[in-house]
Amino acid sequence: MSGHGWVIRNADGSKARCGGPALCSECAREQADTKGEPPHQGSAGKRPTDNVVRIRRKPRPLRATYQPAAPYVVEREDEDDGSIRYMVFDHRPETYRFVCSTNDDGGTDADAKRDAEMIARGLNLLVQYGLERL
């Protein structure tokens, strides 16, 4: 055994429990001595990442989708006076309508968002159990 087996493989394939060049100073020194050669080459002389294809895509925004079981959603609207208004809407295609809203009153009501979400959750439960009347 010539080294720890992380950078230059040992003949018997064994490795020390040191954690490799990221954690072990001796392995890091051994990697610096090899002048950046790839630490683990396969039997065919290829790197494990030679067959990886990198795809460059622009990030796409997540689209809001209509959920038939949860048509009531909360939307946020920033007011001119600095307060935040949370509105509950019914997003069903045939009945798109405003239901109600809550306001944080310029930051004094910390529960406005939670209140609007609880209203929407309750209405969505009524839809799921078939108890909603339009």
Q: Bridge partners of 88?
A: 74, 100
Cα(21)–Cα(14) distance, rounded to whole angstroms?
A: 16
pLDDT for residue 118 is more than 90: yes
Tokens of 133: 């009347």
Q: What confidence category does residue 46 fall into, taking pLDDT thresholds of 50, 70 and 90?
A: low
Give Cα 119 distance to the centre of its chain: 27
Residue 35 has a pLDDT of: 65
Residue 134 has a pLDDT of: 58
Segment 79-96 mean pLDDT? 88
* Run of H or E including 116: helix 112-128
Is the pTM for the entire model greater than 0.75?
A: no
Q: Which of 87, 78, 82, 90 is nearest to 115 (CA)?
A: 87
Segment 72-87 mean pLDDT? 90
Asked if 85 and 101 touch (Cβ cutoff 8 Å), the reply is yes
Tell me the domain boundaries of the chain: 1-45, 72-128
